């Protein structure tokens, strides 16, 4: 699973937001740092969904100016399992 992220240049770095996962907001001092921080906040956000037993939104296609941030395969599998369990009750 790869979630689209917007990297917005700001004074002193980049702010990263995910439209599918609105809780995931971070920043980095430069582009490589912002990518690392984006992966970290996306993973942390998944833990919140798991802990609260909430359905995780599916990633939407990237739009112009967005970059896809991947989840580790093990976390992607956990997302699919959680969503299926919640769907079935």
Q: What is the pLDDT of residues 11-69, one digit of tens each?
A: 989 999 999 999 999 999 999 999 999 999 999 999 999 999 999 999 999 999 999 99
> Would you state the pLDDT for residue 81?
96
Q: How many CA atoms lie within 13 A of 54 on its CB side?
A: 12
- Residue 46's contacts (CB-CB under 8 Å, 6 or more residues apart) are 56, 71, 75, 78, 79
> Would you state the pLDDT for residue 38?
98
Secondary structure percentages of the chain, helix, strand, coil, to 5: 45, 25, 30
> Would you state the pLDDT for residue 89?
86
Question: CATH topology for 2-88?
Answer: Double Stranded RNA Binding Domain (3.30.160)
| Residue 58, burial from CB neighbour count under 10 angstroms (0-12, 13-18, 19+) | exposed
CA distance 55 to 4: 18
Residue with token string 């100016």: 65
> Would you state the pLDDT for residue 10?
93
Q: DSSP 3-state assignment of 27?
A: strand
| Confidence bin at 79 (pLDDT 50/70/90) | very high
Q: Is the pLDDT confidence value at 85 over 90?
A: yes
């Amino acid at each position: 699973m790869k979630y689209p992220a917007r990297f917005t240049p700001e004074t002193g770095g980049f702010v990263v937001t995910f439209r599918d996962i609105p809780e995931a907001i971070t920043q980095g001092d430069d582009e490589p740092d912002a990518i690392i921080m984006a992966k970290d906040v996306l993973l942390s956000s998944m833990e919140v969904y798991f802990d609260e037993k909430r359905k995780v939104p599916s990633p939407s296609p990237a739009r112009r100016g967005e970059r896809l941030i991947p989840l580790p395969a093990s976390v992607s599998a956990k997302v699919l399992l959680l969503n299926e369990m919640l769907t079935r009750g």
